[in-house]
Amino acid sequence: QQPVQSPQAVILREGEDAVINCSSSKALYSVHWYRQKHGEAPVFLMILLKGGEQKGHEKISASFNEKKQQSSLYLTASQLSYSGTYFCGTEQDFNKFYFGSGTKLNVKP
């Protein structure tokens, strides 16, 4: 039931772009994306709903393919502050969230 995230880790230079993917074997009500810094709690980035509606971060975009139960997070012109571990959370049953194992992003100067 846990969604599958890829890649597991990414190393970028400032200004470079990255894509993080999330795939579920079950139909989804919604997909959430969160970022977690070391030793801190996960912080909300974005929600993607069935039908294409999105809510969230101004500088980060994402897509949600309802038919394939897949979502991708697009990080453009990365900044040092983007470093952290990114998790997708999939709402497979109403109110019930399963998270992927995370993608560790390291942005270097």
Residue numbers at the binding site for other proteins (CB under 8 A) = 1-2, 5, 29-30, 32, 34, 40-44, 47, 49-50, 55, 87, 89, 91, 94-102
Identity of the residue, 79 or 101, whose beta carbon is nearer to other proteins in the bound complex: 101
Task: Find the shortest distance in angstroms from Cβ 71 to other proteins.
Answer: 14
Q: Strand pairing of 96-99 and 84-93?
A: antiparallel
Identity of the residue, 44 or 74, whose beta carbon is nearer to other proteins in the bound complex: 44
Q: How far is Cα 20 from Cα 61, in angstroms, rounded to an integer?
A: 11
Task: Find the shortest distance in angstroms from Cβ 53 to other proteins.
Answer: 9
b or e along 18-32 (b: 16 or more beta carbons within 10 Å of the residue's beta carbon)?
bebbbbbeeebebbb
Q: Is residue 75 within 8 Å of 105, Cβ to Cβ?
A: yes
Task: Find the shortest distance in angstroms from Cβ 88 to other proteins.
Answer: 9
Task: Find the shortest distance in angstroms from Cβ 13 to other proteins.
Answer: 26
Query: For residue 8, what is the DSSP state?
Result: S
